[in-house]
Amino acid sequence: MSNMPANRFRAGLATGKTQFGVWLGIPDSTAAEIMAGAGFDWLLVDHEHGSFELRDVMTHLQVMAAYDVAPIIRSVDGSATLLKKLCDIGAQSFIVPMIDTAEQAAAVVSAVRYPPEGVRGMGTSLARASRWNSIPGYVGNANDEMLVIVQAETVTAIENLQSIADTPGIDGVFIGPSDLSASMGHVGNASHPDVVETVGNALRTIRSAGKFAGLLCLDESQIAHFEECGANFVGVGVDTLLLGNAARGPVSYT
């Protein structure tokens, strides 16, 4: 409807083209704006591990709104109170970490949707998402623009992956190779053959359930393989690593 903010990430995924993006861990919004103009399909604000306060997340959303890039928020956890606040400041696409069961996945879906589909509290007069109650019909249409991706990153989650992916309202599942490798007994070795095989099989399971599948893959040589396994969206970088690697280049001249 008129003035209703559309979910850019959902629109990108709907094209059928693999969506590539970068993790944002630097809380300064200038870094986010630089990345927003770099040409990636999406940028993820990492509220889980990055040093972001809620105001920082909102500032990042405001900065990215001027660019043709889809914002994703990775929340600290699946807390309904936290997710409500993130919805109100304008988040529409979520990756929620450490989801091990279908019950946990269902709780996340409920947290980001207004009744009767969920339990999101009404607060549109105070919400950036509704432009402070100036979007006609916002509460009747907001649920349709929410995109919920849960993160499977433990052996338990992989064991329950089919039921997690089949959970109504779950749009996709993201595989976290680093934590998964630790859960599998290969701490710090996400490239271990057993981990790579497990991730590939997980992506196939997610796609067979008709859901979007994604992962973070910083090894360029593995990206094509995971695309073949069904990955719809792939994180290919982290702003802190990109900055650090770029900075170390010129040091060779000194």
pLDDT, tens digit, 9 for 90 and up, residues 216-225: 999 999 999 9
Half-sphere exposure of 222 (CA within 13 A, CB side): 20
Residue type, 235: G
pLDDT of residue 252: 72
Once rounded to an integer, what is the mean pLDDT over residues 118-141? 96
Q: Return d(Cα 129, Cα 27) in angstroms, integer.
A: 21
10 Å Cβ neighbour count for 172? 23
Catalytic site includes residue 47: no
35 confidence band (pLDDT: 50, 70, 90): very high
pLDDT of residue 2: 57
Q: Return d(Cα 74, Cα 51) in angstroms, integer.
A: 12
Once rounded to an integer, what is the mean pLDDT over residues 105-125? 97
Once rounded to an integer, what is the mean pLDDT over residues 197-215? 98
185 confidence band (pLDDT: 50, 70, 90): very high
Q: Is residue 152 predicted with pLDDT exceeding 70? A: yes
Nearest to 91 by CA among 123, 126, 44: 44
Q: Is residue 254 predicted with pLDDT exceeding 80? A: no
10 Å Cβ neighbour count for 159? 13
From 49, 60, 186, 225, the catalytic residue: 49
The residue behind tokens 């992916």 is: 165
Q: Which residues contact 198 (CB under 8 A, 6 or more apart)?
A: 158, 180, 184
pLDDT tens track for 226-253? 999 999 999 999 999 999 999 998 877 7
pLDDT tens track for 55-89? 999 999 999 999 999 999 999 999 999 999 999 99
pTM, whole model, 2 decimals? 0.95
CA angle 149, 155, 156 (to 5 degrees): 75
Q: Return d(Cα 194, Cα 199) in angstroms, integer.
A: 9
pLDDT of residue 253: 74
Q: Is residue 1 predicted with pLDDT exceeding 60? A: no
